[in-house]
Amino acid sequence: KEKNLPPGPPAYSIPIFGHLLSLGKHPQETLLKWCQARQSDIIHCYFGQRLVIVLNNYSLIKQAFLDDNYSARAQPFIFEEHFHGKGLTYAEGERWLVHRKFAMDTLKKFGMGKFYLQGTILSELRDVFQHIDEQNSTPLDIKALLTHGLSNIICGFAFGERFSHDNQEFRHIVGLIEECFTLGSHDSWITVFPLLRFVPMKSLRGNYKKFSKNFHEIFQFAKKLVQNHDENIEETRDYIDEYLKQANLDKKSNKFDSTFDMDQLITSITNLFIGGTETTSTTLRWAFIYMIENPKILKTVRQEIDDYMGDRNLFIQMEDKQYLPYTTATILEIQRCGNIATLGGSTMHRNLQATTLNGYSIPANSYIAANFYACHVDERQFPHADRFDPTRFLSHDLKLVQRTQGFIPFSIGKKSCPGESLANMELFLFFSNFIRHYDFYVVNQAEQINSKLFYHTSLTRAPFDYQISFDRRSF
């Protein structure tokens, strides 16, 4: 027992399991309740034998995540086994610093955060619209279409190619990624007792086999595309070319400590590929739900867009964003309420050395769970947090978008999401153009779809699958 830990939770710790079995289906909500019960924004609990420090407000998360000591990643067994501490998400120390910088520089070089990238995004959107039009208003599950289109944008960066919606192999890979997000869970018993994976009973083994098989196939796919690249190419076209060029330079200069090896490349690409697809697609699926649930807000967004676009039958572009403050604020509110980042997957950190936070001791190698959900429903930052209200992100005259302190869907600090500017562009272009070009409605499931109940928590907090119909608007 460590001394001077933050308060413990109101739930009992069971030997070996710790508090895992009390976390329930939505750990982010349980942890918030535990903090409220202890009247403390910081508490400790145990996931199995592992000490977890839960941070439940913005200022604590900021304090911790701006400190390099907290920049290591929690390494649940299931991820450790596949990523081996390589890539971007699960790498640490010097390796992570070097490759994170390389990734940021390379993504920027190929357009991330720059307006010219919108051509690629809009051409994917055009393809998605074409498939929707072919459905002739028949209800469809938009998830696969969105994830496919958004994956293609990452594929352009990473592999220098895109895959048509008819490409069966790519559809299969995208399906595996989607599945991983529903299979993987923070509280899978395997993360606590890795030996359970050898047990024949599925109830104990959980989704381990399926999860592993999916990861393996995704890695093989990335590997195949890497092999199609030539390391001696002069002009680099994508992430892989750029990486092979750097690896070559290191080799020629006999850089003995170079970490630019094949495994690192494939793992980084897989991290970008997995990190950059389901996340944005899930946010957009939340967007439709919030718009259907809040028709007055949908009407205001559409009015703003229609007034601005007039009868121009064109795609809305990034240049138009500054004239669409209500639309932009609505996207932020969708992110705040949708709260897709949970405690599973890549969001838990680890502190390298023993330290103190808020006057409490934090032993070395604790898992640090930043509860983004708690930040986004914190009444101190977001009054009437349970209301869907885009105006909270607008100035008094409703003309300017203002980011509220405490709004951190992409996290904060050096480990924060490297895809933030890409995701922001994708969200704006997809959302605004969907509102402009389509009416949409849910027929059979309309009564079930209540944003406060209709979701599950695994690697992300995502709505359940639903069928939605689209009708083209005419101008």
| Residue ranges at the known binding site | 417
Tokens of 121: 């995004």
**Beta carbon nearer to ligand HEM, 294 or 371:** 371
* From 56, 191, 267, 271, residue interacting with ligand HEM (rule: CB under 6 A): 271
Compute the least distance from the CB of residue 313 to ligand HEM, in Å. 28
Closest CB 14 distance from ligand HEM, rounded Å: 28
| Choice between 81 and 306, CB closer to ligand HEM | 81
Which parts of 332-361 interact with ligand HEM (CB under 6 A)?
Answer: 340-341, 346-347, 349
Chosen residue from 18, 276, 325, 344 binding ligand HEM by CB under 6 A: 276
Nearer to ligand HEM, 184 or 276 (CB): 276
Measured from the CB of residue 156, what is the shortest distance to ligand HEM in angstroms? 11
Q: Which of 343, 417, 429, 435 binds ligand HEM (CB under 6 A)?
A: 417
Of the two residues 107 and 309, which places its CB atom closer to ligand HEM in the complex? 107
How many chain residues interact with ligand HEM (CB under 6 A)? 27
Q: Taking the mean position of all CA atoms in its chain, how far away is CA 168?
A: 25
Nearer to ligand HEM, 309 or 417 (CB): 417
**100 touches ligand HEM (CB under 6 A):** yes
Among 62, 415, 437, 461, binds ligand HEM (CB under 6 A): 415
Q: CB of residue 193 vs ligand HEM: minimum separation in angstroms? A: 25
Our CB check for ligand HEM shows the closer of 321 and 415 to be 415
Do the beta carbons of residue 399 and residue 291 sit within 8 Å? no
- Site membership for ligand HEM, residue 419 (CB under 6 A): yes
Is residue 416 involved in binding ligand HEM (CB under 6 A)? yes
What residues contact 257, with CB distance under 8 A and at least 6 apart?
Answer: none
Contact, 447 vs 317, CB < 8 A? no
CB of 471 to ligand HEM, least distance (A): 27
Q: How far is the CB of 186 from ligand HEM (least distance, A)?
A: 14
Which residue's entry shows tokens 């995004």? 121
Confirm or reject binding of residue 281 to ligand HEM (CB under 6 A).
no
Tracing tokens 């990473």 back to the chain, one arrives at 158
**Residue ranges at the known binding site for heme:** 417
418 binds ligand HEM (CB under 6 A): yes
**Smaller CB separation from ligand HEM, 89 or 371:** 89
Beta strands 367-370 and 50-55 are parallel
Does 120 interact with ligand HEM (rule: CB under 6 A)? no
The answer to whether 283 contacts ligand HEM (rule: CB under 6 A) is: yes
For ligand HEM, the closer of residues 17 and 163 by Cβ is 163
Asked if 27 is part of the footprint of ligand HEM (rule: CB under 6 A), the reply reads no
> Looking at 423, 429, 435, 468, which residue binds ligand HEM (CB under 6 A)?
423
Q: Which residues, 147 to 166, sit near ligand HEM by CB under 6 A?
A: 154
246 near ligand HEM, judged by CB under 6 A: no
Residues that bind ligand HEM (CB under 6 A): 65, 88-89, 100, 154, 271-272, 275-276, 279-280, 283, 340-341, 346-347, 349, 409-411, 415-419, 422-423
